Amino acid sequence: MTSVGIIGASGFTGAELLRLIAAHPHFELAFATGDSQAGVAIADLYPSLAAAYGGIEFAGYDDSLLDGVDLVFCGLPHGASQALMPTLVQKVQWVVDLAADFRLQDASLYPQWYGESHPCPELLPQFAYGLPELYRSQIAAASAVAVPGCYPTCTTLAIAPLVVNGLVHLDGIVVNAASGVSGAGRPPKPNTTFCTVDEDFTAYGLLNHRHTPEIEQNIAALASSDSSSVSVLFTPHLAPMNRGMLATCYLRPTGSKNTAQLLEIYEEFYADEQFVVVTEGSPSTKACLSSNTAHVTVRADERTGHIVAIGAIDNLTKGASGQAIQCANILAGLPEATGLSSIGVYP
């Protein structure tokens, strides 16, 4: 068994990690910290986990918890894991970080997009980008992984076949995406209360959402291009649902492929990927509910001269904790799908 700990387990991504680890045949929970909930029983905060964790309580973090642990997941808010990481990478064999702290390889981007300099930029090269469908070999060779954000995961999987095959221009890409409210985290906020969100649909992070440089970084890497040649106008939206994510992407083609040809390219690109479904229909967030699967499709619009690519995921599973488990399986030399489901919950 692989002994695992979760630092920051009291949030929604932490709860999803706890759910998945409970059913994982090779991962055994050693500790789950939640400083704001220290001393609170996991089952009291999340009754859905009561059958698996009984009277186990969230712990306050202390470095001694790392003794004898093989793998640590970090589910902390942005900026919090940076202070812990120098110790973590020294004391445990594998680290999987679900925050944005080590996703951007260019340290100079952090002040612009996150409002502060990165305190340990020397660690950035140690982190593989945790999107297995595109960076599997890098993950397998690493000891630390930065799990992508939910929006970059959904968007990148939706457009990757187009970018890798040089079928679209890299500038002027437009991405409109919507997320369930769980993407805003567990702590209550004025804009995420029931009365605010119910019966509403709103855009946020206009022109400056933090996932923009991550999406652009992915596109540049997939195209083997300089990041200066990539530009993305990304607009996220908050949808009145608990979980789920849909990204609709608009790109300008470099050639004259029709829809049937593009779908064939997608089918070939993802032929061996058990967690990507290429559909001729329109991807649905509910089809992905609680699964680690992304559903994608593509259309060529001859009338406007654009390509439309659409992706759907569960923002907490494939967009966070499920993908973290997928990466951890690779690190531990296990079959990638261990403990994960490709089947959504319905209705």
* Residue indicated by tokens 């297995």: 132
| Token duo for residue 33 | 């910290």
Task: Give the strand pairing for 232-238 and 202-203.
Answer: antiparallel
Burial 307-318 (b: 16+ CB within 10 A, else e): bbbbbbbbbbbb
Q: Which tokens belong to 110?
A: 């952090």
Domains and CATH numbers, the chain: 2-147+318-331 (3.40.50.720), 151-315 (3.30.360.10)
Nearest to 98 by CA among 80, 116, 73, 119: 73
Q: What does 295-331 look like in DSSP terms, one character per residue? A: EEEEEEETTTTEEEEEEEE-TTIIIIIHHHHHHHHHH
Task: Kindly list the catalytic residues.
Answer: 150
Alpha-helical regions (H) of the chain: 12-22, 42-45, 50-53, 80-91, 109-114, 132-140, 150-164, 194-197, 212-222, 259-269, 322-331
Q: Give, for all 347 residues of the chain, the pLDDT tens digit.
A: 999 999 999 999 999 999 999 999 999 999 999 999 999 999 999 999 999 998 899 999 999 999 999 999 999 998 899 999 999 999 999 999 999 999 999 999 999 999 999 999 999 999 999 999 999 999 999 999 999 999 999 999 999 999 999 999 999 999 999 999 999 988 888 889 999 999 999 999 999 999 999 999 999 999 999 888 999 999 999 999 999 999 999 999 999 999 999 999 999 999 999 999 999 999 999 999 999 999 999 999 999 999 999 999 999 999 999 999 999 999 999 999 999 999 999 99
CB-count exposure of residue 330 (10 Å: 0-12, 13-18, 19+): buried
The answer to whether 66 and 59 have CB atoms below 8 angstroms apart is: no
122 CB burial (10 A radius; 0-12, 13-18, 19+): exposed
Give the single-character DSSP code of 60.
P
The encoded tokens of residue 165 equal 């095959």
Q: How far is CA 276 from CA 142, 270, 306, 341, in A?
A: 23, 7, 23, 12
Question: Is the bond preceding residue 347 a cis peptide, omega within 30 degrees?
Answer: yes
pLDDT given for residue 330 in this prediction = 98
Phi and psi at 16, nearest 5°, equal -65, -40
| pLDDT confidence of residue 278 | 98
What's the pLDDT score for residue 299? 98
Tokens of 95: 């680290």
The full DSSP string for 1-34 is -EEEEEES-SSHHHHHHHHHHHT-SSEEEEEEE-
Residue 55 is predicted with a pLDDT of 86
Which of 273, 246, 334 minimizes the C-alpha distance to 135? Answer: 273
- Which of 343, 241, 345 has the alpha carbon at shortest distance from 292? 343
- Predicted model pTM: 0.97
For residues 12 and 31, give the distance between their C-alpha atoms in angstroms, rounded to a whole number.
17
* Interior angle at CA 15, CA 68 and CA 247, nearest 5: 120
Determine whether 346 is exposed, middle or buried from the number of CB atoms within 10 Å of its CB (0-12, 13-18, 19+): exposed
